[in-house]
Amino acid sequence: MTRSKVAFILVSFIAILCLLLIPGQYVRTFGQPEVLVLDNGWRISLNGTVIQEDNPQKIVRTDVRVIKKGDVLTMSRTLPSGSGYYYPSLYIRTQGAALDVLIDGMLYYSHDKEAILNNTQVESGSHFIDLPMSIAGSTLTINLYAGSSYAFLGVEPPVLSSYRSLMEYELHLNFLPLMVSIFLCVYGVSFLVISLYFVLQTPNLLGQVVSSLICIDVGIWMLSAYDLLSIIMGGHHATRLESITLYLLIPLLYLYLSSMRKPFRKQIYTAIAVISSAVCVMLAVGIAINMLPIHIVNIPFALIALLATILVLRIRFGARAGAKREESESLRIAGLLVLIATFWL
């Protein structure tokens, strides 16, 4: 690859980065919403045993030890007198835990308790809870019921404000992943339509079609992983969608490699790709129809992803790496390696 082409790629990357970052910093200087992050002053207990920590975000594994399904983390504090918002709302993000919200000891909001009782999958998600107007000085109690062993690790502090301010605050907080994911989805759909239009007229467009599907898949994964779908559209199925899109990335990666054809002349590459893709598709279908717990398949997926990474590295730096290769093929494999590296990070 010539120096001019390398310079062009670097300039393009910097330009896209500036387009994503600069508007976000510019927008944040106007109308910064007034929110109250409740990150201290809590009395926290696990199954009745008090934890020596008043910030829920600082809870670590040594505080909660081994968590079993159904364990209860209770957080209680008095709301400050300056929290008299007009139409106040509370934002809480749960991670694999059911939720109860009590005000002065009275149950005000509940979510996913049935999943704990029925021993089914507990969804993660964002909760925007409308509160009574006269909440200043009230006692707020939040009960989290563990649906998995990681439910109480990295608990985010609740945020108090008006509903609109909470929406603006969370979207501003996740401005970069929001813009990147929207860009990937829009670009992927546009590129897919263009590719499908020309696929009947021009041969060998499989790579372009699959790359557009990868963009859409990664965009939806980012929206789900950062809980932006729950914030924008409501509902609490982002965790399920996050896992499905992540598992479908492996078959798409192998399809993209197969569009180059050369790597898959070896039968061993084809066998690895077919078996790995079939396992990932079955896992995705099992999660979609609620037959498999979302997080029980993380280890097998990690092994499949590691095998895919080794295979791509083998293709790029293997025995035939020094053989003559088309420049476009080298660039596409390099792009895949960058994508894989970011996902591992």
- pLDDT means over runs of 10, the chain (345 residues): 69 71 53 76 87 76 68 89 74 88 91 78 82 84 85 82 86 86 92 83 78 93 87 72 89 86 68 89 85 70 85 72 60 80 81
pTM flag (> 0.85): no
What was the pLDDT predicted at 143? 93
3-state helix, strand, coil in the chain (%, to 5): 55, 15, 30
Pick from 64, 95, 62, 90: which is nearest to 77 by CA? 90
Sheet strand arrangement including 43-46:
49-51, 43-46, 72-78, 139-146, 97-103, 106-111
Q: Quote the tokens at residue 57.
A: 């975000």
d(CA 146, CA 288): 22
Q: What is the pLDDT of residues 285-309, one digit of tens each?
A: 888 887 776 665 667 788 888 888 8
Q: What 3-state class would DSSP assign to 234?
A: coil
pLDDT score of 248:
92
pLDDT of residue 101: 93
CB 137 within 8 A of CB 131: no
Amino acid 62: pLDDT: 56
Q: According to the model, what pLDDT value does residue 189 have?
A: 94
